Amino acid sequence: MRKITEKQRQQLIKAANRVRANAYAPYSNYAVGAALLTSSGKIFRGANVENAAYPVTMCAERSAVFSAVAAGEQEFNAIAVATDNGGTPCGSCRQVLAEFGLDIKVLIVDGEEKIVRETTVEALLPGAFSGGDLPDS
């Protein structure tokens, strides 16, 4: 599991809960915020954005990862995911995170900023599909 400081842990938790306020969730009313810590120390935030055509909805976790990658970051130490009830990342988000490291720390927090679960991507997605599973080209 990748290490983060207590200060970084608290920054991630607060950032994830704050960005939840920006979520666009008119259909589920389930606002999600994510804060992703890169190995360079930067924090990228994401909020879920729903759509009436449900499959094109974007999750907070993937939004944070894609923003980080667009900014040139590809090494991640931890992510905090905030919901009212401490819900875990969906399967798609778990797979996207796995692409960047099974040992990324995952902090799942509720709306009161309480850590509901602290784990890794690997624990959330055992047997993850990876580039090593693809045939050589």
Say which DSSP state 50 is in. Answer: -
84 neighbors 59 (Cβ within 8 angstroms): no
Query: What Rg, from alpha-carbon coordinates, does the chain have?
Result: 14
CA atoms 137, 127, 9, 50: torsion sign:
positive
Phi, psi of 8 (to 5 degrees): -65, -40
Centroid of chain to Cα 65: 7
Active site residues: 61
C-alpha to C-alpha distance for 17 and 91, rounded to whole angstroms: 21
